[in-house]
Structure formats: C-alpha cells, structure tokens
A and B are shown apart, each in its own frame.
Chain A
Amino acid sequence: MTQVLICGAAIVTLSMGIRHGFGLWLQPITMDRGWTRETFAFALAVQNLAWGIAGPFAGALADRFGAFRVLIAGSLLYAGGLVLMALSTSGAAFTGSAGLMLGMAQSGTTYAVVYGVIGRNVAADKRSWAMGVAAAAGSFGQFLMVPVENWLIGGFGWQSALFILGCLALAIVPLSLGLREPAATAATPGQQSLGHALREAFGYRSFQLLMAGYFVCGFQVVFIGVHMPSYLKDHGLSPNVATTALALIGLFNVIGTYAAGSLGARMPKRWILSTIYALRSVAIVIFLNVPLTPWSVYLFSSVIGVLWLSTVPPTNAVIAQIFGVRYLSMLGGFVFLSHQVGSFLGVWLGGRLYDATGSYDVVWWIAVALGVFAALVNLPVDERTIERHAVPGSAAA
C-alpha cells in the first residue's frame, strides 16, 4: 500500500503541478511568436476539454490493461506535448501540442487513473484517506510549481523551461512502475463487462447525482480561479492582493483535500460533499455582502481554498464504495468529464455575463444557487454497495 501511495502521490504532484503554471507562459510565448492572447487561450481551452473528454477512455484503458501502461503512455505524451509546445511556430501546431496532446496526457496521468490503482490496492476502510493523500499531493504540486516554473522561465528562458518540464514529466515513467498491478487485479476478466458497468452507473440515480455535484464543483472553482482577479481589480484592489489570494487558495487547498479524505474514512461521504457545497455558497454570500478589503479577500481565499479540491477524494471514494473498484478509473473519468463541462461553463459564462451586465454579480449568484443545488443533490446519494444479482455480458469483460 505504501508504495502505491508514494508513487501515486508523486505522479499526481507532477501531472497536476506541471500544467498549473501554464499562464506564466502567456506573455513570453505570445510576444515571441507574435500571436494574440486568443491563440494561447484557445489552446488552453482545448486542453481542458481534451482532458475531460479523453478521461473516460484513459480510465477504461487503465481498468482493462493496467494503469501503469496508461501512465507511461501519458508521461510520453506529456513530455512530447511540452517539447512541441516549445517548438510550435503556428497557432494550429500550438493548439495540437499545448491543447490536444497535453490535455490527453493529463487524462492519462491524473486522478482518475491513479485512483483506480489506489482503490484496488488499499483496504476499503482506508481508501478515502488514501485518496485524500493523493489529492493533497496534487494540490501541493499545483501550489509548488507556480514559483518553480516562474524561476525556470526567469533562469533558463521560456523555451528551455518547457524542455526541462518535459524531462520532469518523464519521471512519471519510473514512478508508474510502482503502480504495476498483478494481472489478477488489473486485467483478468471480471464479473462485469465494461458495457454493463456503464449502463449500471448511468442508470443509477446516485451516480447521476454525483455527476451533477461535480459539475457544480467545476463551475465554481474555475469561475473563481479565472475571474476573481478581475473582480478584485474592478473593485480597486491591488494585484498583490490577488496574488496573495492565489497563494492562500493553494495553501489551504492542500489542507482541505487531505482533511476531506480523512473525514471520508469516518463519516458518510455524502454529508462531507453536501457540507462542502453548502459552505461554498455561504462563503460566497458572506464575501459578497461584507465590505471588500484585502483582509476579507484573504479570509475568503483561505475558506474557499479549504473547499477547493476537497470534493475530489469523497466523490471518487463513494464511487468506489457503490460500484466497486473494477471500473473505478473509467467511472471517475466520466464524473470528471462532468466537472470539466462545469469548468468550461464557469469560465465562459463568467465572461459572457460580465460583458452583458457589466459586473460579475449575476455569475456569483449563479455560483451560490448551484452550490445550494449541489448540497441538496448529494444528500440522497445512496452509499451502499450496489447489489448485483445477474451480470449480463460478464464473459466479455
């Protein structure tokens, strides 16, 4: 278990961390190549969509052929994508490398794939805690890599910095060998076929509710992450306040994800999820109704940081609890796809409604309403393991 946890946590630290500071390349790349910001932003939007869409496929491949193979392929794709991102001289090539390749690489190297191995190799009573450790490692990677990447760009130039990150992405290859599972757990035909697992999950009310909740998670987190700096700027706060807010979100995110995973081992996960979404809404309502000062921003950032990715361990742990671990990566990938659709809408609606109304107020209140909705839909989630009497298509697994 320790080996799986250490290697899994290290992989997620790298895969989540490397991508997190990509915004730092916006100015140097667009200036050097003579591109507009839209070219850069479009590639990153494609990256996020590719990450979500490829997730279920990467998960299904990991469940079928073993996570370590998918991780190795993902690592090579990650490294290749970073190198080609550095060498791209046209917008199309940049979208293909920084967008498509890196998005697919992330789907093969992040939570869903690693959680499948953790789920299969950690005892059920420790699974939520172990997922919390891995999620906290990913959060730490995000927190750590922004200053590291800033230092790399400053010290070596933006292009060499990407080459160095490419080498770093290759470190996932040896680490993934630590997640190599015995054939009996990874590839032996199970009792349930992939098709049946999909039909079962999508026809099961609790899975639909979890997907709805995760959609809200993506909407809120990405709306706040992307649009809060502009919101603060509009209200006359200095850029340093926004930067400190970013650091506080990163710091408390690590603590929150670990705490949520640990709590998941002690209490029903639906309660944790419901509380997280409810608290997000409460925090936003208070934030919008108190005078906006640097300290109110810091307090809000700290609270929202605790609640940031803390949905990840309980959501994945409850999927494992209900459906078992055989197709955990694939099902986790589908739930994450819902998260990414929410993310896309959070970014897009934030900008669209700001342009239409001249303020972020409407989107903030949508985020509040969605938080209440997610808190309510998570409450009736049935965490009991699903009973399977006759499993059609079992021979085809």
Chain B
Amino acid sequence: MKLRRLGGYAGAALALAIVFAAYLRPDLMLTLATQLWNCF
C-alpha cells in the first residue's frame, strides 16, 4: 500500500515536471509572453 502510494506521488511529480518543462520551451515562452500576457 505504501509502495503504491509512493508510486502515485512519483508519477504525479513526473507529470508535473514534464508539463513544467513544456512551459520553459522557448516557443511557448514567446507565445505566452506575446499573446497571453500582453492582452492585459
């Protein structure tokens, strides 16, 4: 049970890390900077 829970946390952490890395890609950074944020 404990191992399953740890596996769950590890999987969640991996998913979060992958998505966070996607934000740091230069193309997305540029898009967000010019399209999403500038509209405010």
Contact = CB atoms under 8 A, between A and B. Distances in A.
B15 A140 contact: yes
A150 interface: yes
Contacts of B40: 226-227, 229-230
Nearest to A258: B12
A247 B39 contact: no
A150 B19 contact: no
Contacts of B36: 21, 23-24, 26, 146, 246
B39 A150 contact: no
B32 A254 contact: no
Nearest to B25: A147
B14 interface: no
A147 B39 contact: no
Given A140-B15, A240-B29, A254-B16, A147 B35 contact: no
Contacts of B38: 229, 239
Interface string A39-51: 0110000000000
B24 interface: yes
Interface in A229-270: 229-230, 239-240, 242-244, 246-247, 250-251, 254-255
B32 A150 contact: yes
Nearest to B37: A229
A37 interface: yes
B33 interface: yes
The size bracket of the interface on A is: 20 to 34
Given A150-B31, A239-B33, A240-B29, A23 B20 contact: no
B28 to A, nearest CB: 6
A240 B23 CA distance: 10
A244 to B, nearest CB: 7
Contacts of B34: 27, 239
Interface string A136-154: 0000100110110010001
B10 interface: no
A146 B32 contact: yes
B16 A243 contact: no
B19 A243 contact: no
Interface of B: 12, 15-16, 19-20, 22-25, 27-29, 31-40
21 contacts: A23-B35, A23-B36, A24-B35, A26-B35, A27-B39, A140-B16, A140-B19, A146-B23, A146-B28, A147-B22, A150-B28, A229-B37, A239-B29, A239-B33, A240-B29, A240-B33, A246-B37, A250-B20, A250-B23, A251-B16, A254-B16
